[in-house]
Amino acid sequence: MISPSVICFSVQESFLEIMLTHNLCEWTSADICFMNKPVQIASKVIMILLVSGPIVLMAQENKTERETRIKKSDTPLEILNVLEPYLKESTRIKYYKEIDGDHRSFEVKFKWKSKRYSIEFLEDVRLEDIEVTIPFETIDQGSKEQILLKLQTYDRYKVRKTQKQYSSDQSSAAETISKAMRGNNEITIRYEIVLDTKSKGVWSTTEMTFDQSGQFLFEKQVIKRSEDHILY
């Protein structure tokens, strides 16, 4: 892989060369030398960072999950057929392909009867799960109490997003989807909650998964989008 730092410096060098060769600026070689003087030390530091940065950073790269938006025509026909009854009454329909290591899947997101759904299928078009975004308060009272017991172990917390997840059962994909869309609780349910938590003075964003009765199953840190371009 060509290091981005090499590209940056090559572009800079070529730019200065073009400017001088074609007489596009009033700078002389002496000017360029002068301009370089005040930033000589800073340039060296940046050069080291740029050259070493990609090597160090590439070693840190371990997140392989990637979700890419695709066209409807790139989504397998079997998936479109099984979702057809709902999609014709839906808005904001989006199609995605997700790659997470060896795991590949298709995902269709849409808004149906004022609720946001996300239905995921494996690469061989078997149904994986159905997620619907719900208000936290609408979780069954018993389950909610259990979930709150876990959340109260943090100094502070703020729920950002709650999803009810229906897993595929023994019945056909169409039947499972139909049950989930009707809110039938007979199929396996989990709750996925994204929340900001404060522990030992530090805030972080976490996605927690609970079973149907509100028992904590597992959690994972949410990697937040970089903020420097909106901060400085």
Whole-angstrom Cα distance, residue 22 to residue 6?
A: 24
Selected range binding another protein among 137-145, 146-154, 182-190, 196-204, rule: CB under 8 A: 196-204
Strands 66-70, 91-100: pairing is: antiparallel
Q: Is 24 in the site for another protein (CB under 8 A)?
A: yes
Selected range binding another protein among 73-81, 165-173, 198-206, 209-217, rule: CB under 8 A: 198-206
Evaluate whether 127 touches 119 at the Cβ level (below 8 Å). Answer: yes
Q: Which of 90, 59, 215 is nearest to 150 (CA)?
A: 215
Q: Which of 72, 185, 198, 217 binds another protein (CB under 8 A)?
A: 198
CB proximity list for 198: less than 8 A, separation 6 or greater: 154, 155, 156, 157
Selected range binding another protein among 53-61, 134-142, 147-155, 177-185, rule: CB under 8 A: 53-61
Q: Is 44 in the site for another protein (CB under 8 A)?
A: no
Q: Which of 29, 66, 91, 114 binds another protein (CB under 8 A)?
A: 66
- Name the residue nearer to another protein (CB basis): 39 or 148: 39
**What amino acid occupies position 169?**
D
